[in-house]
A and B are shown apart, each in its own frame.
Chain A
Amino acid sequence: MIETIGLRKSFRVRKATVDAVRGVDLSVRKGEIFGFLGPNGAGKTTTLRMLATLIQPDGGEATIAGADLRRNPGEVRRRIGYVAQGGSTWDAVTAREELVLQARMYGIAKPEARQRAARAIESFELGEFADRKCQTYSGGQRRRVDIALGIIHAPGVIFLDEPTTGLDPQSRAHMWDEVRRLRSEGMTVFITTHYLDEADALCDRIAIMDYGEIVAEGTPDELKREVSGDVVTVGVPGAAEQAAKVLDGQPYVRQLESSEDTVRLYVNAGATAMPQILRTLDGAGVGLDSIELHRPSLDDVFLTKTGRSLRES
Chain B
Amino acid sequence: MKLARDTWLIFQRQMMLVLRNPVWVIVGIIQPLYYLFLFGPLLKGALRLPSAQAYRIFVPGILVQLAIFGTFFVGFALISELRAGVIERSRVTPVSRLALLLGRSLRDVVSLLVQAAIITVLSIPFGLAVGLGDALLAFAVLGLIALMLSAASYAIALKLRSEDALAPLLNTVGIPILLLSGILLPMQYAPHWLATVAKWNPFSWAVDGSRALFAGHPGDASVWKSLLILGVLTVVTVSWAARSFAKSVR
Contact = CB atoms under 8 A, between A and B. Distances in A.
Contacts of A104: 9
A88 B88 contact: yes
B177 to A, nearest CB: 31
A295 interface: no
B84 A78 contact: no
A84 B13 CA distance: 21
Nearest to B250: A56
B17 interface: yes
Contacts of A92: 17, 20-21
B93 A105 contact: yes
A102 B91 CA distance: 11
A78 B20 contact: no
A102 B88 contact: no
A89 B84 contact: yes
Contact of B84 (A77, A90, A102, A105): A90
A84 B93 contact: no
A228 interface: no
B94 interface: yes
Nearest to A85: B85
Contacts of A52: 92
B171 interface: no
- Chain B contact-residue range equals 20 to 34
Contacts of B94: 74, 77-78, 105-107
B180 to A, nearest CB: 37
A113 B86 CA distance: 18
B81 interface: yes
Given A56-B250, A93-B17, A87 B92 contact: no
Contacts of B85: 84, 86-89
B130 interface: no
A101 B84 contact: no
Chain B binding surface SS class: helix
- Chain A contact-residue range equals 20 to 34
A124 B89 CA distance: 19
Contacts of A93: 16-17, 20
A271 interface: no
Contact of A87 (B9, B84, B95): B84
Interface in A91-108: 91-93, 97, 101-102, 104-107
A122 B92 CA distance: 24
A176 to B, nearest CB: 22
Highest count of chain B CB atoms <10 Å: which of A74, A78, A86, A107: A107
A170 to B, nearest CB: 24
B88 to A, nearest CB: 6
Contact of B89 (A53, A74, A102, A153): A102
A82 B90 CA distance: 10
A246 interface: no
Interface string B1-42: 010001001000100110011000000000000000000000
A120 interface: no
Contacts of A91: 84
Interface string B81-121: 10011101111111100000000000000000000000000
A150 to B, nearest CB: 8
A82 B89 CA distance: 8
A54 B84 CA distance: 16
A105 B90 contact: yes
Nearest to B89: A88
B9 A54 contact: no
Interface string A104-127: 111100000000000000000000
Contacts of A97: 16
Interface string B62-87: 00000000000000000001001110
A34 B90 CA distance: 25
Contacts of B6: 105
Contacts of B93: 77, 102, 105-106, 153
Contacts of B2: 107
Nearest to A53: B92
Contacts of A53: 91-92, 250
15 contacts: A53-B92, A54-B91, A54-B92, A54-B250, A74-B94, A82-B92, A86-B85, A87-B84, A88-B86, A91-B84, A93-B20, A105-B9, A105-B93, A105-B95, A107-B94
Interface of B: 2, 6, 9, 13, 16-17, 20-21, 81, 84-86, 88-95, 250
